[in-house]
């Protein structure tokens, strides 16, 4: 069943949902930062709503809904990434979007250049659909950070640190989906098609290679094609959390939307249930691996 998504809901609302482990917990903390579909009534966007929704990782948290049943924690954003993106640092802002100067130094990244920084500039690639017909007051952006971005990161930090304190190690999955035209959207030339799954560990720096390999193999043996760091390596969340030398492992998982979704209507496709079942089995294998690491 696909939930109806409204173009505007009263502000504010809880910034996230948090599902804790059912039964015996394992130090596996997972988050879906981009599947939020509650569009705040103070958004003030000037682009057709169906175009704006193209940025969602629609239903990713539902695909992975079995994670708590295998002992993992699952955090999911309620707000949409186009409003404020929790997978960006707060300095990753396009100054051209603002009506006044930001009070501290900005550090816009490649994502900001592409129009998808902390505050999105464009709803489609190549600047075809500017989200705003106005400049954003600094106070408005600061309010978005305080109301949505900061609480999301605080909840993530709390769960990560609680697991680490209890087990002396923690594994993090950063869960996403990717559009079929991802190479084009990232302005990358590729001689091969987009894989079914892309695992990102920032070129081996945020997770132990054996963990990345375990997740890849679990997906491959269920018939999926898997790429590593191509074209997605992971952004702010895994960069901040992944320190494998300290037994803090963080891996980004991207799912090809064509496996489960009609990208135009955002409706679940015929493949949704089968993919959800496969990810239930993958979740159990990952949890079993984590459990073995902390025996």
Name which of 253, 242, 268, 263 is nearest 156 in CA terms.
242
CA 26 to chain centroid: 21
CA distance 119 to 170: 30
pTM: 0.96
- Residue-wise pLDDT for 160-187, tens only, equals 999 999 999 999 999 999 999 998 988 8
Strands 197-200 and 28-32: unpaired
Query: Strands across the sheet with 226-228, in order?
Result: 16-19, 73-77, 28-32, 170-178, 248-256, 197-200, 226-228
- Residue-wise pLDDT for 211-226, tens only, equals 999 999 999 999 999 9
Residue 125 has a pLDDT of 81
Tell me the two tokens of residue 22.
């059912």
Residue 3 has a pLDDT of 76
Statement: residue 76 has pLDDT above 90: yes
Residue 2 has a pLDDT of 63
Residue 191 has a pLDDT of 87
Mean pLDDT of the chain: 96
Q: For residues 166 and 27, is the Cβ–Cβ distance under 8 A? A: yes
Reduced 3-state DSSP string for the chain? CCCCCCCCECCCCCCEEEECCCCCCCCEEEEECCCCCCCECCCCCCCCHHHHHHHCCCCHHHHCCCHHHHCCEEEEECCCCCCCCCCCCCCCCCHHHECCCCCCCCCCCHHHHCCECCCECECCHHHCCECCCCCECHHHHHHHHHHHHHHHHHHHHHHHHHHHHHHCCEEEEEEEEECCCHHHHCCCCCCCCCCCEEEECCCCCCCCHHHHHHHHHHHHCCCCCEEECCCCCCCHHHHHHCEHHHCEEEEEEEEEHHHCECCCCCCECCCHHHHHHHHHHHHHHHHHHHHHHCC
- Residue-wise pLDDT for 84-117, tens only, equals 999 999 999 999 999 999 999 999 999 999 999 9
- Residue-wise pLDDT for 23-52, tens only, equals 899 999 999 999 999 999 999 999 999 999
Tell me the two tokens of residue 46.
């000037």
Distances (CA, A) of 75 to 151, 160, 174: 12, 11, 10
Statement: residue 1 has pLDDT above 70: no
CA distance 220 to 223: 5
**pLDDT tier for residue 74 given thresholds of 50, 70 and 90:** very high
Residue 274 has a pLDDT of 98
**pLDDT tier for residue 238 given thresholds of 50, 70 and 90:** very high
Residue 160 has a pLDDT of 98
- Residue-wise pLDDT for 120-129, tens only, equals 999 988 788 9
- Residue-wise pLDDT for 242-269, tens only, equals 999 999 999 999 999 999 999 999 999 9
Residue 77 has a pLDDT of 98
Q: For residues 99 and 138, is the Cβ–Cβ distance under 8 A? A: yes
Domains and CATH numbers, the chain: 16-87+151-293 (3.40.630.40)
**Percentage of residues in the chain having pLDDT higher than 90:** 93
């Amino acid at each position: 069943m696909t939930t109806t998504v409204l173009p505007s809901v009263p502000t504010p609302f809880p910034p996230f949902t948090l599902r804790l482990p059912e039964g015996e917990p394992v130090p596996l903390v997972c988050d879906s930062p981009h599947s939020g579909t509650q569009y705040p009534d103070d958004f003030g966007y000037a682009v057709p709503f169906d175009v704006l929704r193209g940025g969602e990782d629609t239903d990713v948290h539902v695909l992975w809904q079995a994670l708590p049943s295998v002992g993992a924690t699952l955090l999911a954003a309620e707000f949409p990434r186009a409003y404020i993106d929790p997978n960006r640092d707060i300095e990753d802002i396009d100054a051209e979007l603002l009506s006044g100067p930001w009070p501290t130094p900005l550090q816009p990244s490649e994502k900001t250049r592409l129009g998808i920084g902390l505050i999105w500039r464009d709803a489609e690639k190549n600047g075809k659909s500017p989200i705003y017909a106005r400049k954003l007051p600094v106070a408005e952006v600061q309010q978005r950070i305080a109301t949505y971005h900061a609480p999301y990161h605080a909840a993530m930090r709390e769960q990560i640190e609680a697991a680490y304190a209890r087990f002396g190690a923690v594994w993090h999955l950063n869960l996403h989906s990717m559009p079929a035209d991802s190479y084009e959207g990232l302005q990358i030339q590729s001689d091969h098609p987009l894989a079914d799954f892309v695992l990102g560990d920032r070129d081996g720096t945020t997770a132990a290679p054996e963990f990345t390999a375990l997740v890849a193999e679990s997906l491959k043996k269920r018939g999926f094609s898997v790429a590593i760091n191509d074209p997605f390596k992971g952004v702010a969340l895994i960069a901040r959390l992944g320190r494998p030398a300290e037994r803090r492992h963080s891996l980004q998982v991207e799912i090809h939307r064509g496996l489960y979704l009609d990208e135009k209507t955002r409706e679940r496709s015929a493949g949704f249930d089968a993919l959800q079942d496969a990810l239930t089995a993958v979740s159990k294998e990952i949890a079993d691996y984590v459990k073995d690491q902390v025996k």
